[in-house]
A and B are shown apart, each in its own frame.
Chain A
């Protein structure tokens, strides 16, 4: 039996506002338990919420980035349920008039060669709950409310995803976009990006959807991808062996690498949603939306596609540059003037330069390297004035001081010897002293040429142009053969 996989995602993204969603407490990860709390986020009697306007602005930003319609009049709803980490015993969320509706997330697949639109149902704002801490040594349970009231957006997709790799691409796009918009730090280890994954299988060609299972609160992109893989496999096995998929809610266990059953259908929760009477309708002006729109920069997937199209970069290079604004700025500044292939610039930035930066644990901003100097250095390699190896030596200096690369090359004797007659003399000398070279070459051992080039370089103290030396060597050996 063949199946179509149907996946829908609900992604929670913590917003990095200075303060919490409904009170003035610091929105900061960690800290001494219950130190970022007040009567409001502790759900004390009589207190009232106050909407964080910045959180609304961030949510609108996300909505615009994902092509949603922004509701200029939106309201908040109470989602009622009991849980020890939920201070008020209800979460202030949105159900009926979410802030952002519709829209889509465009994901890149197959090495950036394919695009797919994943439609969105909505993006709404809500608040996070506290954290339950089980004491390992005793059966005591504590609650830390530092996270209680941290602003979240929930991005709800249509069931448009068809595979674990699409789940990965979708979540990566959301993470990259949120980072680019500056609305979240998306730190997985701090739980600032979490996903609920809904999965069902459909017989190929059939229009009837299968029973859906949900995996709740997966805290990493890899986890979500793995959880989807496991659940697809499980459902396939159930159906193939003649069984029926039951509606189950799972929890992904990162350490065990498997989905654990949380509850079955009969225990579904009734949230008794109703409009939050403690907050007024939120009205948003069109001018405000326009202003937010102008603050949105080039989005990650747009950038990847542009880098691939304009500079003929492969997807992997474009992705790495998209992830790092500094490196990308350096790349684009150098590539704009560089006469050679842009790919060579990317290789240097993503290869040697990144290695040096990582080794010294610094960023471009901490170094003295300018785009102008890097470009000049690459031109010198391009026109054979220096070797690649010399380039590496020069780069190390350029990181520390702003000087012309040619000055360094001269000072350190790194300029390549490209004078035809000088090189011919050296080659002649080497061939005279190493008569076995032409003999072996004639017998077909062409790799002996490398040895000869090396001998020439020794005599030239490394400053010879290896390409030219090789050409001359070949010419002289072949000349002697003819003689």
Chain B
């Protein structure tokens, strides 16, 4: 077995036992990249030189007996919305095609501080707007499980890198499913943390109220390790929150798993529903209590999410004006034309669509009514989840209605938006959700499930996920 096929946990132990070196791990990963990257296209930028130096440094330190973080020496892919000092950061957009930040995102500083090995910047839908990774203006990423299919989005490059063994771990970002959906399509594990648990500083925003950086890996254990490395309050991000102790501890006999009624609906592929139900059954066999739980208002999820997202996205994208950085149009007669041409040339159709919608929804004509009402309902939805968690510990649902689509199969934006229907709830309620594979369907494509917990329940989610991996998986 190649080193690149192992988990972060296994590699970390091997490094400590000195049965392999960080440079050997990296070499194995680079080997995969050399063989597959031209087909998969997970990365926008490869940072091979940096990675080699980092790996070498880890080996030197380990040789000297220096105590290092548990993820030291583990190769990681970083979604290209995360700003990396001195390294191209494009957000998958032409408007930032040549943008090299002079600062690091806080999460990237944590990756560096943990002595992880940075393999490259992973592809994504332009400004993280999409569910198939096809809206990237710079790279075309395919699903390593089936190269005729999309990897999901927007963190498609991150998921593909892990699934294709082109990295051991990856950082994605999740606004309305952007970590979880590609995790499901590519058959890897991904977490959307409680809003505020991971710093957003230096992460190019889509919608500030929803964005969270999420860890991705082959196993729940790996995702747990990466989450522990990146989570925490950050003085540079005033929306981060201190961790609160989650009062429940995991015991399969005491676990009450809620079947998320609304998300087993007619849109979901029966094969997926069946697979998730099989997972539920295996929990039941080990002693867990199973209940059907209803969370109201799901018919509002998509419009509420879209209102808040487009308003914030339009404003967040306004700074790309061609004045200080990024693309600037060649010829213009005045500032007005500079703006119009720069932005018309620089943004792809998806950002444009959302800028138009968001600008309309926040216009003075409505006096902020759309966003205010949306926040009112966000509060209601959070309460609805709180009520649900009085009945059960966690909710379980399919991660998506369908398995990975064929490249180019999905063109209608409304259908693309709807792909994330299972994902919006956790985003709207600011609660964590773990996406993990629960089997393969008849076309041999991965099926993803999602377990959703109350605020601060990440550890509990990991415990449940790891129990499933250890005892229930067939």
Report how far A46 CA is from B209 CA in the complex, Å. 14
CB distance from A49 to the nearest CB of B (A): 8
Chain A residues lying within 8 Å of B186, measured Cβ to Cβ, are none
| Contact (Cβ within 8 A) B363 A90 | no
Partner of A80, one of B89, B99, B315: B315
Q: Which of B81, B323, B364, B375 contacts A46, CB < 8 Å?
A: B81
Q: Does B359 contact A (CB under 8 A)?
A: yes
Q: Are A46 and B321 in contact (CB under 8 A)?
A: no
Q: Which residues of A contact B239 (CB under 8 A)?
A: 48, 277-280
B323 lies within 8 A of A88 (CB): no
The answer to the question of B362 belonging to the interface, with a C-beta cut-off of 8 Å to chain A, is: yes
A46 with B324: CB separation less than 8 A: no
Determine the chain B residues whose CB is within 8 A of the CB of A42 once the complex forms.
Answer: 324
Shortest distance between the CB of B377 and any CB in chain A (Å) = 15
- Asked if A46 meets B203 with Cβ closer than 8 Å, knowing A51-B238, A84-B335, the reply is yes
Measured between beta carbons, the chain A residues less than 8 angstroms from B238 are 48-51, 278-280
The yes or no answer to B325 lying at the interface (CB within 8 A) is yes
Q: B60 near A: Cβ within 8 Å?
A: no
Contact mask B318-329 → A, CB, 8 Å, 1/0?
A: 111101110000
Contact flags A23-51 to B (C-beta < 8 A → 1, else 0): 00000000000000001001111111111
A179 interfacial by beta-carbon distance below 8 Å: no
Q: In the complex, which residues of chain B have a beta carbon less than 8 angstroms from the beta carbon of A274?
A: 311-312, 315, 362, 368, 371
Q: How far is the CA of A319 from the CA of B463 in the complex (A)?
A: 73
User: What is the minimal beta-carbon distance from B74 to any residue of chain A, in angstroms?
Assistant: 24
Q: Report yes or no: A45 in contact with B319, Cβ–Cβ below 8 A.
A: yes
Interface string of B159-200 (1 = CB under 8 A from A): 000000000000000000000000000000000000000001
A-side contacts of B368, CB under 8 Å: 96, 273-274
Query: With A82-B318, A270-B363, A274-B315 given, is the CB distance from A48 to B324 under 8 Å?
Result: no
Which residue of chain B lies nearest to A39 when distances are taken between CB atoms in the complex? B103
B364:A43 contact, CB within 8 angstroms: no
Chain B minimum-CB-distance residue to A95: B368
Q: Which of A48, A80, A89, A90 has the most CB of B within 10 A?
A: A48
Which residues on the A side are within 8 Å of B81 (C-beta)?
A: 46
- The number of chain B residues with a CB under 8 A from chain A is 46
The answer to whether B325 touches A48, judged by C-beta atoms less than 8 angstroms apart, is no
Report the minimal beta-carbon distance from A280 to chain B, rounded to whole angstroms.
6
Known A272-B362, A274-B371: A46·B105 in contact at CB below 8 Å: yes
A87 at the interface (CB under 8 A from B): yes
Interface membership of B204, Cβ < 8 A: yes
> Is B208's CB under 8 angstroms from A47's CB?
no
Does B205 sit at the interface, judged by CB under 8 A?
yes
- Within the assembled complex, what's the spacing in Å between the Cα atoms of A136 and B161? 53
Are B201 and A143 in contact, with the CB atoms below 8 A? no
CB proximity of B365 to chain A, nearest CB, Å:
8
> A90 and B103 in contact (CB under 8 A), knowing A45-B89, A279-B239?
no
Residues of A within 8 A of B101 (CB): 39, 44-46
* The residue from A43, A47, A80 contacting B103, defined by CB atoms under 8 A apart: A47
Closest to A80 in B: B315
B311 pairs with A88, CB closer than 8 A: no
**Given known contacts A39-B103, A78-B315, A277-B312, is B205 in contact with A46 (CB within 8 Å)?**
yes
A57-98: CB near B (< 8 Å → 1, else 0) gives 000000000000000000000101010100111100000100
Q: Among the listed A48, A279, A280, which residue makes an inter-chain contact with B201, where contact means beta carbons less than 8 Å apart?
A: A48
Chain B residue numbers with a CB within 8 Å of A3 are none
Closest to A279 in B: B238
CA distance A215 to B12 in the complex (A): 67
In the complex, per-residue mask of A407-430: 1 if CB is within 8 Å of any chain B CB, else 0: 000000000000000000000000
Q: How far is the CA of A43 from the CA of B205 in the complex (A)?
A: 12
Which residue in chain A gives the minimum CB-CB distance to B322?
Answer: A84
Residues on A with C-beta less than 8 A from B89 are 45
- List residues of chain B with CB within 8 A of the CB of A96: 368
Which residues does chain B contribute within 8 Å of A273, judged by CB atoms?
Answer: 362, 364, 368
A364 at the B interface (CB under 8 A)? no
Closest to A273 in B: B368
Contact A272 B237 (CB under 8 A): no
Task: Give the interface SS of chain B, mostly helix, strand, loop or mixed.
Answer: loop
- A272 touching B83 in the complex, CB below 8 Å, given contacts A45-B319, A46-B105, A78-B315: no
**Contact of A44 with B325 in the complex, beta carbons under 8 Å:** yes
> CB-CB < 8 A to B208: which residues of A?
277-278
With contacts A50-B238, A272-B363 known, is A45 near B91, CB below 8 A? yes
What's the least CB distance linking B455 to chain A, in Å? 15
Say whether A271 faces chain B, with CB atoms less than 8 Å apart: yes
Interface residues of A in 154-212 (CB under 8 A from B): none
Nearest-neighbour CB distance to chain B for A150, whole angstroms, equals 18
Q: Do A84 and B204 have beta carbons less than 8 Å apart?
A: no
**Does B236 sit within 8 A of A, measured CB to CB?**
yes
Kindly provide the distance from the CB of A12 to the nearest chain B CB, expressed in whole angstroms: 22
Smallest beta-carbon distance B174→chain A, Å: 16
Which residues of chain A have C-beta atoms less than 8 A from B320's C-beta?
45
Q: In the assembly, what is the distance between CA of A24 and CA of B87, in Å?
A: 24
User: How far is it, in angstroms, between the C-alpha of A337 and the C-alpha of B204 when the chains are bound?
Assistant: 68
Interface residues of B in 361-413 (CB under 8 A from A): 362-365, 368, 371, 375
Residues of A within 8 A of B99 (CB): 45
For A89, give its contact among B319, B365, B371 (CB under 8 Å): B319
Does B425 make an interface contact (CB < 8 A)?
Answer: no
B312 CB, min distance to chain A CBs, angstroms: 6
Distance in angstroms between the alpha carbons of A279 and B208 in the assembled complex: 10
Complex Cα spacing A143 to B323, Å: 9
Give the chain B neighbours of A47 by CB distance below 8 A. 103, 201-202
> Are A90 and B318 in contact (CB-based, < 8 A)?
yes
What is the distance, in angstroms, from B234's C-beta to the closest C-beta of chain A? 9
* Complex alpha-carbon distance, A18 and B212, angstroms: 32
Of B200, B236, B325, which is in contact with the most chain A CB atoms at under 10 Å from its CB? B236
Quick check: B103 and A44 within 8 Å, CB to CB? yes
Assess A45 versus B96: contact at CB under 8 Å? Given A274-B311, A277-B208: yes
Contacts of B201 in A (CB 8 A): 46-48
B235 within 8 A of A: yes
Determine if B467 is an interface residue (Cβ-Cβ < 8 Å): no
Min C-beta distance of B114 to chain A, whole Å: 20
Contact between chains at B363 and A45 (CB < 8 Å): no
Considering the complex of A and B, which 7 residue pairs feature the smallest CB-CB distances, nearest first?
Answer: A89-B318, A277-B208, A272-B362, A46-B204, A277-B209, A270-B364, A45-B204
* Known contacts A45-B320, A46-B82; 12 further A-B pairs (Cβ under 8 A): A39-B102, A39-B103, A44-B101, A45-B89, A47-B103, A48-B200, A48-B238, A51-B238, A89-B315, A89-B321, A272-B315, A278-B238
17 pairs of residues in contact across A and B, judged by CB atoms under 8 Å? A39-B103, A42-B324, A44-B101, A45-B89, A46-B82, A47-B103, A47-B202, A48-B238, A80-B362, A89-B318, A270-B365, A275-B371, A277-B207, A277-B209, A277-B239, A277-B312, A280-B239
